[in-house]
Amino acid sequence: MSGRVAHRDRRALHPLLEAHPSRGDHQGPRRRGRLPGRQRRGVPAGSRRRGPGRRGAEGPPVGAGHVKRSTEHERIESLLRRLRPSDALLVPNGDDAAVLRGDPRPLSISVDAAVEGVHFRRAFAPLDVLGRRAAVAALSDLAAMGAEPTALFAALVLPRDFADEELELLMGGVANAAREVGAVVAGGNLSRGGNLAMTFTVVGHHDGAPLTRAGAQAGDGLFVTAPPGHAALGLEYLLRGGGPVDAEPYLDAWLRPRAHVAEGLRLVGRAHACIDVSDGLAQDLGHLCRASGVGATLELPADPELERQAARIGQDPRSLRLRGGEAYGLLYAAPDACGVEDAIRVGTVEAEPGIRGAGDAPGFDHFAEPER
């Protein structure tokens, strides 16, 4: 790590663990601390079965015979078809958040999860950085709806050897993310499991009509509030153990994103459609266009520094910009930038369906990607 820095705190990035890349970076013995308050008991370790032959409550062993494994979004669509619509929902399932009828103001509610080995490695950064980042990812869904965050609930799955000090550090980062957007951590749940996992339910209210993915019109400009590909390049550096000093902005883009709540509130009543960029620009634009019944042409502006840095580690800069997600900025369709500072125009909405200029760049899919 000599001459390499991940971000402002040189202690915040540890070398990746070669033997167990998804396990934590803390060396030496850990103590199991008792947590204040009531804790739900987990399943006794001896009662759990692992491997392809394990059985559920009923039926044959999981993995017996042919098993269909759809993509993430195919599974979501299948689940949505089985859920009954309700008059209680102003905006139903399928958007960044559901919007419930409120008295007097509608409420947006969304759920997001971050799982060790899937979304992050403990070696990437201290637990407060990882906790904050995971909470920002959840709060970003409220930003995309033009909601003002009110409350966050945290359900945590902790490894057996997770110490009290580690929990306090993790939740300190979560509380910071909530505080930054004017929300509070209002409750949650603790349980025990194999890997660290964080699930957040976030609640926000609306003073105006919610932003949704539907409503983009032919001729609208397409704008983003975070530079495409910067967080994706940061992740590539992290997977390699860090980067040189001039890579710090890209490492921070992945490790220290922010929920673009102020931008979302500004877009209310101005933008025709909006979504947060979590799965990649091309894929999330596809979601927006399908919901709006339109197409689009992508026209990314030049980014010479990203291209230079990508070439240094053998990455395709265009793929990073189109496919790389987890930036948690907003992508919106509007006649103009709507006065959003530093908004970047990336394309134009068109009447003809399909995304032109994206090539074959799919975004992130939980059920297709390898573990981190």
Are the CB atoms for 366 and 74 separated by under 8 Å? no
Instruction: Give the model's pLDDT for residue 75.
Output: 72
pLDDT, tens digit (0-9, with 9 covering 90-100), for 306-363: 999 999 999 999 999 999 999 999 999 999 999 999 999 999 999 999 999 987 655 4
pLDDT, tens digit (0-9, with 9 covering 90-100), for 167-209: 999 999 999 999 999 999 988 889 999 999 999 999 999 999 9
Residues of the chain with pLDDT below 70 are: 1-67, 69, 72-73, 76, 79-80, 82-86, 88, 93, 360-372
Domain 86-205, what fold? 60s Ribosomal Protein L30; Chain: A; (3.30.1330)
**How many other C-beta atoms are found inside a 10 Å radius of the C-beta of residue 11?**
8
The H-or-E segment that residue 91 falls in is strand 89-91
Peptide bond into 104 cis (omega under 30): yes
Sign of CA dihedral 333, 141, 111, 323: positive
Q: Cα(205)–Cα(186) distance, rounded to whole angstroms?
A: 15
CA nearest 72: which of 370, 319, 320, 364? Answer: 364
Token readout for 270 is 């101005």
Instruction: Give the model's pLDDT for residue 178.
Output: 96
CATH 3.30.1360.170, domain 221-356, yes or no: no
DSSP one-letter string for 148-212: EEEEEEEEEEE-TT--HHHHHHHHHHHHHHHHHTT-EEEEEEEEE-SS-EEEEEEEEE-SSPPP-
What is the model's pTM?
0.74
Segments making up each domain of the chain, as ranges: 86-205, 221-356
CA distance readout (Å), 341 to 140, 262, 267, 338: 18, 10, 12, 9
